[in-house]
């Protein structure tokens, strides 16, 4: 399968714990995006990378959220000290570098906070 891969698909954790999600983009895509989707809503942009550079992170929901893409390939999204309101689907997408190129999405990681 050459699509965007996300791991894990589901994560259940207790409030206050840290969680980390992984995204493997389509191999030739140099842009990688993270979104959050809550029930009944469209995806909400969080951050994006061009290769290993994080070019936009002001939309990260709080300082508890951070993302990395150390070698310009896979990326991780970490949420520290999780809260009930963090329960959502976290989606990763990747694209080629031109702005007119569509983003291709993974199947997401569903986070449930107990």
The residues that touch other proteins, with contacts defined as CB under 8 A, are 4, 6, 33, 40-45, 48, 55-56, 59, 91, 93, 99-100, 102-108, 110
Dist. CA 30–CA 13, nearest whole Å = 31
Comparing CB distances to other proteins, the nearer of 92 and 113 is 92
Q: Decide: residue 79, CB within 10 A, 0-12 exposed, 13-18 middle, 19+ buried.
A: buried
Give min distance, CB of 3 to other proteins, in A.
9
Query: Using CA atoms, how far apart are residues 22 and 20, in angstroms rounded to an integer?
Result: 7
Nearest to 46 by CA among 9, 91, 111, 87: 91
Q: Toward other proteins, which CB reaches closer, 27 or 99?
A: 99
Which is closer to other proteins, CB of 19 or CB of 91?
A: 91
- By C-beta, is 3 or 16 nearer to other proteins? 3
Residues listed for the chain = 114
Peptide bond into 8 cis (omega under 30): yes
Nearest distance from residue 81's CB to other proteins, in Å?
Answer: 26
Q: How far is the CB of 16 from other proteins (least distance, A)?
A: 27
């Amino acid at each position: 399968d050459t699509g965007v891969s996300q791991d894990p698909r589901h994560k259940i954790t207790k409030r206050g714990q840290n969680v980390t999600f992984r995204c493997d983009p389509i191999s030739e895509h140099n842009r990688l995006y993270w979104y959050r989707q809550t029930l009944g809503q469209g995806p909400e942009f969080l951050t994006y990378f061009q290769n290993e550079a994080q070019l936009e992170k002001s939309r990260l929901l709080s300082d508890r959220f951070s993302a990395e893409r150390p070698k310009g390939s896979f990326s991780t999204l970490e949420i520290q000290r999780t809260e009930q309101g963090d329960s959502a689907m976290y989606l990763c997408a990747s694209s080629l570098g031109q702005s007119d190129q569509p983003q291709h999405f993974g199947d997401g990681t569903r986070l449930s906070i107990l």
